[in-house]
Chain A
């Protein structure tokens, strides 16, 4: 049947090529519509309870897209006219940033930060520096006095060393265009920097902006990688067609996938470009296998058409098995609840499945037109070197060497497996793992976190069953204890809630006596204290602490980093506290802000990790068992996948690469990808064995043919992927390394471990002649 299919394709090659090129042209045209952008909502596991809380309250308590801007002086303190003017100007400029939530701009120069004073008429609250700047030195000194005695400002919006001031601004999530926000804010930052004055900005919109900023560079590296790959392929396969056809297959698959993405309305996150590369690598790898098989058939004396038919027939099963396994493995990612991962799964699986047509069908069809099949274009005979290497590999795996390889593999697997379990879920380091530690963004983040309590926030909602719950001393006591408990975690720089607002009013009411820095013993006293604070203020000024009915409030914690362990520790401790200290007539709800959102993402990633590995293995088992009609075949390839995963996870642990929303797609795709090398080797052995009934010769023969494809593509990919290491984005660089490693482990395992396993186990699905007779006939006739 396979033979008939191959013959039909090649006999109607004009039709096949015509249809393929028309479709590709259509998809290529469509693919120009694909948007390269990050949709923040795509990163969130929508149904997770923390995300529900975040969505419900982010507009009042501050969402996950808060930007913090720090104005920092090198000499003296910020209480200088020129610096205060800069703070005011930046604050005003923030009103013009697209998608800004104008009620959530907070700084010394906003109306939200107030001075609380006792006077003959009671308590007076007035904005510290709004709308006007201090006019003279005396007013500046008064402002300084007011700031230093206000715990809601000093340490939170003015650093304890008085050298820095903070401006925080939040956005309306659904309106966010990261590029626009980034451009506007970086312009404001640039405009306000001067000698001795640094302005720094951090927050998710800025981070994403930096990634978009590096998009042209990323595309340049992508182009360079492709060129390097082409060059290396040319050196190793020695023909132009050996380079052009795999590249063409890659381009066709890419256009189909991107065209489909445009049709389905899926945007392309700049960070998953690396995945495009990973899939393209698979396309090219399959095409090279076919190209190499074609060369082998030509070497046996067949014409181009015969060789094309023979190579297509012979490689159809391992090729399709590889495609089916990879497609299914990519689909497994769909179980993750984050829309970005679902989209990656859909587009990724479409992309991988196109290999069936772009490489497995189209490559042999195009090869059938080759006029002088034996001609080489690269003068140096690199094939001899490759052959020598592969012969040495065969020497090792045939005979006793197989046991050494098996033993070594078990040792590597166990060692790597031990470390693999320690891979961090979430970010492994402070700062953003997407950028290098010395990047402007990470330097800014580090400076801000040093000067202030921490720039990443999490809010925990206190949701009352009735109004005025938040005024109750019992509620306030519970909340204050909760804050005290949270602050025990060293990575939490501080917390804030309604409790912190009431105390200072009470102090003012008692002539500034700090012994009254406390909430009242009755709800009505607390109500009056808050009322006094709110006198003369605008509606909405209390929003970040409580709603107007005092039914729903928030405890906000400021984190110095968002490492996976920091978040996990905080969440687990919060759950313990809530269980041990239930509120009366109210309950705590986890958790919003950037940290709350990341907690949800990390929990889902962690939950899905074992599930996706198990499902990928299940897919691999079922498909290979069906393809070879053997349970042993189903199990045979599992060690390879386990090995490449163990080594990669161990590498991630060693290099401190955390498993987060960005690395997960690469890691998840890698679970299933790479096993196709092994399919080609196994099928090669099987085919050779049917021909000559000599196990050792079959092994050597397969290594010299299928192994050549593995070695050539493996080496080419690994070397080109290392170019990614020059990326300004640390994430791209690390993922480049990771993919390189994945490919290396898969390639090395296919050349050593799989043949060694064949040599030791001598599985029936390869060597049982009676079983294979039916297939043998078909293969023998093509040969």
Chain B
């Protein structure tokens, strides 16, 4: 018995230590929380249907929404990976989004679910740049190859109208008496007075591609575009004239704010144009703001910016959402 014990004990220790030497320890995984706004995100457009709600859309089918005045955002599930270019909302619950590959999305539950509807566009040249809601509730969208789309059922179905030419319409604006105007490549301007059945080309004072158009009231509107071009109309889009601009930076987007136009573009461009005085001011967003923006929205004392980064300015201070690089 003693002999057995004398033999077994050392063998057991050797076996135990030998066994221990083969143990592979695994460290617990460190959890990295997914961020709602990621470094690589590009948000091309945003809307603020009410004081607290901010909705933004961008690359790779991404839609984010804040219900607390942009303190926090959450990512909404979308059925697409196409880049989303523009969003418009009737209220906090109902909105429509457009993007690449003829993609349109609509929601009636605040974005809890997004339904995808393929726009009636060709397989080629099917990028939809902009979507806007007309005063009568009809929603209009502009796309490549002269396409203009509208929907009367909040984006559930679309009708293609347009100019059937090789020009990309970048934006749409609404003048008095139901007039719809589109603006696009090579300074292109066209308006329709019959709900899109026919389109009349308007003389453009520029040859540069124009990226945005909007009206402050039925008669006064502006268009902005590349090389710092700004054109204005005071007769509901009938005639347009070039306004001298203080910069040659590209302009990508605009918004009306009480008595002035806000214009954003590349390299941190944020300008204010006062149409009454025909004068400009230029905001300095600082080194962090030295980036491009495609959309600007004035809402409740804030100026929201979407583009390379999402953020807002308030009394001259720039606040960017998401992680700084």
Measuring CB to CB, which residues of chain A are less than 8 angstroms from any residue of chain B?
A: 145, 148-149, 155, 160-162, 425, 453, 477, 480-481, 483-484, 487-490, 493-495, 511-515, 517-518, 521, 565, 568-569, 572-573, 606-607, 609-611, 614-615, 617-618, 621-622, 625, 631, 634-635
Complex interface residues of chain B between 16 and 30 (CB less than 8 A to chain A): 17-18, 20-25, 27, 29-30
Chain B hits for A610, CB < 8 A: 20-21, 23-25
User: Is B290 part of the contact surface with A, judged by Cβ < 8 Å?
Assistant: yes
Closest to B39 in A: A487
Which residues of chain A have C-beta atoms less than 8 A from B288's C-beta?
A: 160-161
Q: A160-B288, A161-B287, A521-B101 are in contact. Are A618 and B14 (CB under 8 A)?
A: yes
Tell me which of B5-13, B158-166, B197-205 binds A.
Answer: B5-13
Q: List 11 A-B contacts (CB under 8 A).
A: A148-B290, A160-B287, A160-B290, A493-B325, A511-B209, A514-B266, A514-B308, A515-B44, A515-B129, A610-B20, A618-B18
Choice from A453, A484, A572, A606 contacting B25 with Cβ under 8 Å: A606
19 more CB-based (< 8 A) A-B contacts, given A160-B290, A484-B60, A610-B20: A149-B292, A160-B325, A161-B288, A477-B81, A484-B39, A487-B40, A488-B33, A493-B325, A511-B208, A511-B226, A513-B211, A514-B42, A514-B44, A514-B266, A514-B294, A515-B127, A518-B83, A614-B18, A618-B18
Given A511-B226, A518-B100, decide whether A614 and B20 contact each other with a Cβ distance below 8 A: yes
Instruction: Give chain B's interface secondary structure class.
Output: loop
Q: 10 tightest A-B contacts by CB? A: A614-B21, A614-B20, A618-B17, A487-B39, A569-B30, A161-B287, A484-B40, A611-B21, A631-B9, A631-B10
Asked, given contacts A484-B40, A609-B25, whether A518 binds B59 with beta carbons under 8 Å apart, the answer is yes
Known contacts A160-B325, A573-B32, A621-B13: A514-B21 contact under CB 8 Å: no
The smallest beta-carbon distance between B13 and chain A, in angstroms, is 6
CB neighbours of B38 from chain A (8 A): 484, 487-488
- Whether the pair B14, A622 counts as a contact (CB closer than 8 A) is yes
8 Å CB interface, B33-72 against A: 33-35, 38-42, 44, 59-60
Contact residues of B between 168 and 210, Cβ < 8 Å to A: 170, 208-209
Are the C-beta atoms of A515 and B267 separated by less than 8 Å? Answer: no
Chain A residues, Cβ within 8 Å of B34: 488
Query: Which single residue of chain A is at the shortest CB-CB distance from B32?
Result: A489
Question: A514–B29 Cα gap in the complex (Å)?
Answer: 38
Contacts of A607 in B (CB 8 A): 24
Cβ of A116 to closest chain B Cβ, rounded Å: 14
B193 to chain A, nearest CB (A): 28
Residues of A within 8 A of B9 (CB): 631
Closest chain A residue to B20, Cβ basis: A614
Q: Which residues of B contact A573 (CB under 8 A)?
A: 32
Are A488 and B32 in touch, CB under 8 angstroms?
Answer: yes
Q: Give CA–CA (A180, B268) in the complex, Å.
A: 44
CA distance A515 to B9 in the complex (A): 75
Instruction: List the B residue with the shortest CB-CB distance to A453.
Output: B325
The reply to whether A488 and B35 contact each other, CB–CB distance below 8 Å, is: yes
- Looking at chain B, what size class is its interface with the partner chain? 35 or more
Is B250 close to A, CB under 8 A? yes
Chain A residues whose C-beta falls within 8 Å of the C-beta of B44 in the assembled complex: 514-515
B114 within 8 A of A: no
| Separation of A432 and B288 alpha carbons in the complex (Å) | 29
Q: Does B307 make an interface contact (CB < 8 A)?
A: yes
Q: Across the interface, which residues of A come within 8 angstroms of B127, CB to CB? A: 515
The answer to whether B226 touches A512, judged by C-beta atoms less than 8 angstroms apart, is yes
Residues of B within 8 A of A614 (CB): 17-18, 20-21, 23
- The residue of chain B having its C-beta at the shortest distance from the C-beta of A421 within the complex is B25
Q: With the chains together, A480 CA to B30 CA distance in Å?
A: 23
Q: How far is the CA of A635 from the CA of B252 in the complex (A)?
A: 78
Of chain B, the residue at the smallest CB distance from A481 is: B60
CA distance A610 to B307 in the complex (A): 51
Chain A min CB distance to B249 (Å): 9
- Pick the residue among B30, B59, B209, B267 that contacts A572 (CB under 8 A): B30
Interface 0/1 of B88-101, CB less than 8 Å to A: 00000000000011
A155–B101 Cα distance when bound, in Å, is 31
CB of B85 within 8 Å of the partner chain: yes
Contact of A621 with B17 in the complex, beta carbons under 8 Å: yes
Give chain A residues whose Cβ lies under 8 Å from the Cβ of B25. 606, 609-610
B226 touches A569 (CB 8 A): no
Instruction: Determine if B307 and A514 form an interchain contact, defined as CB atoms under 8 angstroms apart.
Output: yes
* CA distance in complex: A233, B15 (Å): 43
Cβ contact within 8 Å between A517 and B42: yes
Complex contacts, A568 vs chain B, CB 8 Å: 27, 30
Which interface residue of B34, B252, B325 has the most chain A CB atoms within 10 A? B325
A709 and B185 alpha carbons, distance in the complex (Å): 92
- Report B-chain residues with C-beta under 8 Å of the C-beta of A569: 29-30, 32
Beta-carbon nearest neighbor of A626 in chain B: B10
Docked pose: A54 CA to B97 CA in angstroms: 44
In the assembled complex, which residues on chain B have CB atoms less than 8 Å from the CB atom of A480? 40, 60
The distance from the CB of B290 to the nearest CB of chain A, in whole angstroms, is 6
CA distance A490 to B32 in the complex (A): 8
A217 vs chain B, min Cβ distance (A): 36
| Minimum C-beta distance from B63 to chain A (A) | 15
CB distance from A689 to the nearest CB of B (A): 23
Residue of B nearest to A609 (CB): B25
Q: State the CA gap A625–B226 with chains docked (Å).
A: 86
Q: Tell me how far the C-beta of B245 lies from the nearest C-beta in chain A, rounded to whole angstroms.
A: 16
B101 & A514 in contact (Cβ 8 Å cutoff) = no
Please indicate the chain B residues that have their CB under 8 angstroms from the CB of A618 in the complex. 14, 17-18, 21
Per the bound structure, the CA–CA distance linking A622 and B20 in Å amounts to 15
Say yes or no: B29 contacts A572, CB within 8 Å.
Answer: yes
Q: Cβ of A615 and Cβ of B21 under 8 Å apart?
A: yes
A558 nearest in chain B by CB position: B325
Residues of chain B lying within 8 A (CB to CB) of residue A512? 226, 250, 266
CB distance from B143 to the nearest CB of A (A): 12
Contact (Cβ within 8 A) A631 B13: yes
Residue of A nearest to B5 (CB): A631
Contacts of B287 in A (CB 8 A): 160-162
Provide the residues of chain B in CB contact with A517, threshold 8 Å: 42, 59
Docked Cα-Cα span, A77 to B211, in Å, equals 31
8 Å CB contacts to A: which residues of B100-133?
100-101, 127, 129
Of chain A, the residue at the smallest CB distance from B293 is: A514
Contact call A513/B209, Cβ cutoff below 8 A: yes
Q: Is the CB of A145 within 8 A of B267?
A: yes
Contacts of B209 in A (CB 8 A): 511, 513
Q: Which residue of B lies closest to A77 (CB)?
A: B287
Q: In the complex, what residue of chain A is closest to B25 when comparing beta carbons?
A: A610
Report the bound CA distance from A611 to B20 in whole Å. 7
In the complex, which residues of chain A have a beta carbon less than 8 angstroms from the beta carbon of B267?
145, 148-149
Q: In the bound complex, do residue B27 and residue A635 qualify as a contact, i.e. CB atoms below 8 Å apart?
A: no
Is B14 a contact of A621 with CB atoms below 8 Å?
Answer: yes
In the complex, are the beta carbons of A617 and B17 less than 8 A apart? yes
A570's closest neighbor in chain B, by CB? B32
Chain A residues within an 8 Å CB radius of B10? 621, 625, 631, 634
Cβ contacts under 8 Å, B27 to chain A: 425, 568, 606
Whether A483 contacts B40 in the complex (CB less than 8 A), given A494-B325, A512-B266, A609-B25, comes out as: yes
Bound-state Cα–Cα, A490 to B322, Å: 11
B226: chain A residues at CB < 8 Å are 511-513
Cα–Cα distance between A568 and B31 once the two chains are bound (Å): 11
- B308 smallest CB distance to A (angstroms): 8
Residue of B at shortest CB range from A483?
A: B40
Contacts of A488 in B (CB 8 A): 32-35, 38
Determine whether the beta carbon of B29 is less than 8 Å from that of A634. no
Please, which residue of chain B has its CB at the minimum distance from the CB of A425? Answer: B27
- Closest chain-B Cβ to A94's Cβ sits at a distance in Å of 26
A374 CA to B34 CA, complexed, in Å: 76
Q: Please state if B22 and A611 are interface contacts (CB–CB under 8 Å).
A: yes
Q: Within 8 Å CB of A481, what residues of B?
A: 60
CB atoms of A515 and B294 under 8 A apart = yes
Q: Point out the residues of chain A lying under 8 angstroms from B29, CB to CB.
A: 569, 572
B18's nearest neighbour on chain A, judged by CB, is A618
Query: Considering the chains assembled together, what is the distance between the CA atoms of A638 and B116 in angstroms?
Result: 69
Q: Is the CB of A490 within 8 A of B323?
A: yes
